[in-house]
Amino acid sequence: MNDICERIQAMHRRIQTAAERFGRPAADIELLAVSKTHPAQVVATALDCGQRAYGENYVSELTDKARALAGRGVTWHFIGPVQGNKTRPIAETAQWVHSVDRERIARRLSDQRPESLPPLQVCIQVNVSGEATKSGIDMEALPALAETVAALPRLRLRGLMAIPAPSDDFDTQRRAFARLRQAREDLIRRGHTLDTLSMGMSDDLEAAIAEGATLVRVGTAIFGGRSG
């Protein structure tokens, strides 16, 4: 067994342990392997280990790897900031976008999603820590953006995503993730059907799982340090 397979299995064990600790089915939590900066052949190795979902932060890497691995059954998630001039290749290539935080971006993704493809699965990124330098919509503006996204014909609103301010304190981590969970619950009360919380990375995934994460995003713990 190669190192990547061992790391993927170790991460699944970690998810399983956290799920058991907090009374959740591990099957409700998907591992998203963040493959940014790592070449297609490294992703191919992880594919051979059974990992199918991959997150990319950069449009050029997303499109290059999607071409290189066409036909391999990869589910591509775009998880980086979405620039207005880069929406078309994302809409044409990815199955998921986690980082929608503006109406203009949502409308462009919907307009540019090919009719031949299923609707693009979308999470709205929320700035749960109130950091001025962090992407994501403010909590107060979230309901209006959710209404807009849900109404767009080529998008399907699935849930919310957040990248809280880093903290080594478990309780602080949980409080940040709880804010996102509560935001999803509020939108569900408003009539939205949302099944996804994209939150938690290598350093805080236990706290995220405790608060209901359904997608955890892990890069270095699977692939090692950045390539190049």
Residue 130 is predicted with a pLDDT of 79
Q: Select from 26, 173, 19, 53 the least CA-distant residue to 121.
A: 53
Question: Distance between CA 189 and CA 196 in Å, rounded?
Answer: 15
pLDDT tens-digit series, residues 130-163: 776 678 999 999 999 999 999 999 999 999 999 9
What DSSP character marks residue 52? -
* Domain layout of the chain by residue ranges: 3-223
Residue 207 is predicted with a pLDDT of 98
Domain formed by 3-223, architecture: Alpha-Beta Barrel (3.20)
The whole model's pTM is what?
A: 0.96
Residue 169 is predicted with a pLDDT of 97
